[in-house]
Chain A
Amino acid sequence: MEFVKLINCMRCGMCLPQCPTYKETFLETASPRGRVALVRKFEEGELEVSEKLLEYLSLCLDCQACASACPCGVNAGELVAEFRCERKSEQGLGTMESLVLRKLLPHPDRLEAATAPLRLYQASGLQKTVRALGLLKMFPSSLQRMEGLLPALPKAPLRQTIEEVTPARGTEKGTVGFFLGCVMSLIFSEASLATVALLSAVGYRVITPKTQKCCGAPNMLGHDMDGLKDAARFNTDLFNSFEVDTVVTDCGGCGAELKKYGHHLAGDPEAERFSSKIRDISQILAAESETLQTMLKPLPVAVTYHDACHIAHCQGIRSEPRQLLGLIPQLDYRELPEADACCGSAGTYNIEKPEMSDRVLSRKVENIRKTGAQYLVTGNPGCLLQLKKALSEQLPEVKVIHLTELLQMSVDGRY
C-alpha cells in the first residue's frame, strides 16, 4: 500500500455525513476517516491485525461515497479493499472461494450451467412450494437471503441468445463493443436487450463478443487480485482485437471495474487503452440525445432515480441518466432524497452483513416512499436485485427497472 495515500487524509470529517454506516452508528470506527486511521495505524505498526480491526473494516460497504466527498482525493473505500486484499493474499483463498472465483466465474459456460438448476427450480414451481412450506428455514440464513433475492429468471441467458453483431438501424454512425455483465445476462437480460436495441436505434452497430468473461469485480470483492488480473488481461485482449473506439456496458459494477483495468495492470498500455474506451450506456445515449428524443413517446408516469454507487461515486456519472429521463415526454421526474446513498446491496455485503445492509436499505426505502414515484430507475444489477426484493415486500406499488428498460418502454410507447 502506498503510505502517502493514507497520510493524504487530513481528517476534516467531510466524509462522515456521506458514509451510510457512520450515519447509522455515529461511530468513528464505522466512518471512512476512522477506517483510514485504522489502516494507517496498522501500516505504522501501532495496531496489528486483530478480530476487531477486521470486523470494523468489514463494515465498509465500499460504496465510495466518501471518495466523492473527500477534499483531498482520498478513497477510503478503495484503501480498505486494498488492505483486505493484501491480508487475503497472505492467507490464500479458501476452497469455496477458489471454486467460485477461479473455477466458476471466469467460465461463462460453467456459470450458466450452474444457474440452470435455479431456472428449473423456478420453472417447475418448486420455488413456490418451498416458499409456501417455509422449507428455507432449515437452511443457513445466508442461503435464505440469497434465495429471497432471486427474481424470476429469463428462459435463457442473453449471452447464448444474442447475435454477436447487431446492425445499426438507419445510417450507421459507427461500431461499439458491448460488455455484457454476468448478472445482466443471467438475470436482467431484458434490460441488456433494450440496451443493444437502443444503441442500434441511435445508429450504432454493436459487437457483443460471445467469449467475454466476468469483469473480475467479484474477485475484487473476494480479495482475489490474481483472479482479477487474469480477467482484466483476457477482456483487454478480446476487446482490443476489435476495431472499436468505445466499449459500452449497462452494468455500473462492470463499468467501474473495467475502467480500473489500466490501474490493475499498471504499466500495460493495452489495458489503459481498453479502460479509456469504457462508457456507461447513459453516457453514450446522453451524447445521442437529439436522435433519441425523436423516438421517444409519452410516458405519463412518476419516476425517481437511484444513483448506483458504482455509477455515481466510482464513475462520477450523475447528470446523464437524469438528462435521459428528462427527454421522455410527460414523464413526471421526482428527485430521490439522498439519491446517491448506497442501497445496502454492495456486492455480497447484503449476504455477509445482513443487519447493517438492512438498516442502510430501510433508509433508502423510506426515501423512495417519500417521492411517491411509480418507477424506481437505476443502472446497476446489484441495486436492481436488492431494491426489487425490498420494494416488492415493502412498497409493492413501485416498480424497479433498469434505465434502458424505461427508455425502451418510451420508444415502444407502452406502460
Chain B
Amino acid sequence: MDKQLIKSLAQVVGEQYTLADRESLACYGYDSTPELESRPGVVVLPGNQEEIGKVLALCHGAGVRVTPRGSGTNLSGGSISFDGGVILQTSRLNRIIEIDEENLTATVEPGVVTSALHREVEAKGLFYPPDPGSMNISTMGGNVAENSGGLRGLKYGVTADYVMGLKTFLADGELLKTGGKVVKDVAGYNLNQLLVSSEGTLGVFSEITVKLIPKPQCKKTMLVHFPQLEQAALTVSQIIAARIIPATLEFLDRVTIKCVEDYAHVGLPLDVDAVLLIEVDGHPAVVEEEAAGIRAICERQGCSFFQTAATADEALKLATARRVALSALARLRPTTILEDATVPRSAIAPMVKLIQETARKYDLTIGTFGHAGDGNLHPTCLTDERNRDEIERAHRAFAEIFEATIAMGGTITGEHGVGVAKKKYLPLLVGNAGLRVMRGIKGALDPNGILNPGKIF
C-alpha cells in the first residue's frame, strides 16, 4: 500500500483510526466466512459521514480499491479485501439520528447495531422487524448492503421492505440521496432498491431511513414435534393455506435435534424427524384464534407433542431449542459451514430430504435448521478445516445442493449474499442476461471498479 495514500487517509480520519501495522491487518483479513482470508493494505474508520466521502475520493483518485465493512459478520466473504485494498469500517458512525413517531421512520448511521435500533424503537412502542441471527452485532449498513433477513421474514419481510431512504457515497466520493420519508415516490428509477443488496459494490451508505410499524400487542409461542418430516412440511403449507401467517415458523431437523439435546438438555425426543417453533403475534383476540387454528392443524397432521407457552419465561424456554441450534451444531467440530439455500415453501420436505441424502452420499454431518415459513434453510456442515479431503467433499455436496435448489425454483442465497463464496453459482441462477445487466449497472455507477471488486460476479 502506498505510504503517501496512508498518510492522506490518516489526515482525513486521524492517525488513531488508520491501521497499517501487520497485526491489525491480520485481524481484518477475515469475516465470518469459513476458509476465506486475505489481508488488506490499510484499514480506516471514519468518524463522520463526510469522512466517508473524502476517503472514497482519495481512493478513487489513487485508483485504490475499497471494501466497506461493518462488524465483519458477513457469511459470503463480502467484507474481505482480496487485493490488498482499503477496508472502510463504519462502526464509529453509530448515531441513531432520529426516530420520527409521526412518520414512523428511523434514520440511522450505517454503524448502528441492528439490535440497538430494536431496543430504541421498541421503547417507543414501535417495531423494526428484520432480525438477522447476528443482530446483536451486525450493523444497519451491512444489513442494507446484504438485504438481511431473519426469523420474522415470513410475516414481516426482509430489510429491503423497510428501506425508505438512503444517503450513499458513490465511488468517486459524490453523495447520492435516494428516497426519503414518503411512502409514495415514483420519481425516476427506484434507486433505493438498486442499492439494497448491492454488497458494497455500488456505494457506501452514510445514512439510512427505515420504515417502522407499531409493535405487536402480544405473541404466543408454540413448540411442536413431528415423527415424520413430511408431517412438519405439510403442517407448514396448511398453516399458510389456512390464511394464518405466523411471525416465526422455524424448523429443526433430526441431526440438529440431537445436537441441541446433547448440548442444552431441553427435553427434545431423539426419535422425531422435525421440530417446529411457531410464534403468532398481533391483537390478543387474533393471536388466540390463530394459535387454536395452528394447534388443530398440527394435531390433524399427527404431531407427537404440542406445547403452548403460558408465560414469557416459558416462551423463552420453548424457543431455546431454536436459539441454541447453531451453537449446538458449531461445538461439535472445529469448522462450521453455514449455508442459506432457499426454496419455495412447498419444496421444504424434498429439499431437507435431498440435503440429508447428499450428506450421506459424501459421508458428512449436515444439520439443517431454519426458516421453514419462507423456505430459507440453513444446512450446516460440521467439519474440520485441517481435513482437506472432508472439506473437498463438503464443497462437492454443497454444489449439488445448490444445483438442486435452483432446479426446485429456489435461490443459492436467501440472506447471506453472493460475495465471493457463491460467485460461481450465480450464472446458473441469473443467466447471461442477468449478468449483463448487473455488469452494466456496476459499470455505470463505478466505472473504475474500485468498490468491493471481485464480489457478486
- Give the B-binding residues of A (Cβ under 8 A): 4, 7-8, 10-14, 16-17, 26-29, 31, 34, 37-38, 41, 46-47, 50, 52-53, 56, 71-73
Most buried by A among B23, B91, B92: B23
Q: Are B26 and A14 in contact (CB under 8 A)?
A: no
Cβ-based interface call for B13 (8 A): no
Question: A7 — nearest CB in chain B belongs to which residue?
Answer: B334
Cβ-based interface call for B49 (8 A): no
6 pairs of A and B residues whose beta carbons are closest in the complex = A71-B327, A26-B91, A28-B27, A34-B27, A13-B73, A72-B330
- In the complex the two chains form, what is the Cα distance from A28 to B87 in whole Å? 12
Residues in B with CB closer than 8 Å to A17 are 113, 115, 136-137
Most buried by A among B22, B113, B137, B384: B137
Q: Are B327 and A11 in contact (CB under 8 A)?
A: no
Q: Interface of chain B, helix or strand or loop or mixed?
A: loop
- In the complex the two chains form, what is the Cα distance from A173 to B132 in whole Å? 51
Q: Which of B29-37, B153-161, B171-179 contacts A (4 or more CB under 8 A)?
A: B29-37
Question: B93 — nearest CB in chain A belongs to which residue?
Answer: A26
- B27 CB to nearest A CB, Å: 4
- In the complex the two chains form, what is the Cα distance from A50 to B24 in whole Å? 12
Cβ-based interface call for B326 (8 A): yes
- In the complex the two chains form, what is the Cα distance from A17 to B71 in whole Å? 10
Residues in B with CB closer than 8 Å to A53 are 23
Instruction: Please count how many residues in chain B sit with their CB below 8 Å of the partner chain's CB atoms.
Output: 36
Given A26-B92, A27-B19, A29-B23, decide whether A7 and B31 contact each other with a Cβ distance below 8 A: no
Return the contact of B26 from the options A10, A11, A47 (Cβ within 8 A): A47
Most buried by A among B30, B115, B385: B30
Return the contact of A72 from the options B28, B33, B45, B327 (Cβ within 8 A): B327
- In the complex the two chains form, what is the Cα distance from A12 to B330 in whole Å? 11
Residues in B with CB closer than 8 Å to A10 are 32, 34, 330, 335-336
19 A-B pairs whose Cβ atoms sit less than 8 Å apart in the complex? A7-B384, A7-B386, A8-B331, A10-B34, A11-B30, A11-B32, A12-B134, A13-B72, A14-B137, A17-B113, A26-B92, A27-B45, A28-B28, A29-B24, A47-B26, A52-B24, A71-B327, A71-B331, A72-B331
Residues in B with CB closer than 8 Å to A34 are 27
Q: Are B334 and A4 in contact (CB under 8 A)?
A: yes
Cβ-based interface call for B76 (8 A): no
Return the contact of A13 from the options B32, B111, B384, B386 (Cβ within 8 A): B32
Most buried by B among A4, A11, A46, A52: A11
Which residues from 372 to 393 on chain B have a C-beta closer than 8 Å to any C-beta of chain A? 384-386
Residues in A with CB closer than 8 Å to B28 are 28
Q: Are B134 and A38 in contact (CB under 8 A)?
A: no
Given A17-B113, A46-B26, A71-B327, decide whether A26 and B89 contact each other with a Cβ distance below 8 A: yes
- A288 CB to nearest B CB, Å: 24
Residues in B with CB closer than 8 Å to A27 are 19, 24, 45
Q: Mark B61-73, 1 if CB is under 8 A from A, else 0.
A: 0000000000111
Q: Are B27 and A47 in contact (CB under 8 A)?
A: no
Residues in A with CB closer than 8 Å to B326 are 71
Cβ-based interface call for B21 (8 A): yes
- B243 CB to nearest A CB, Å: 36
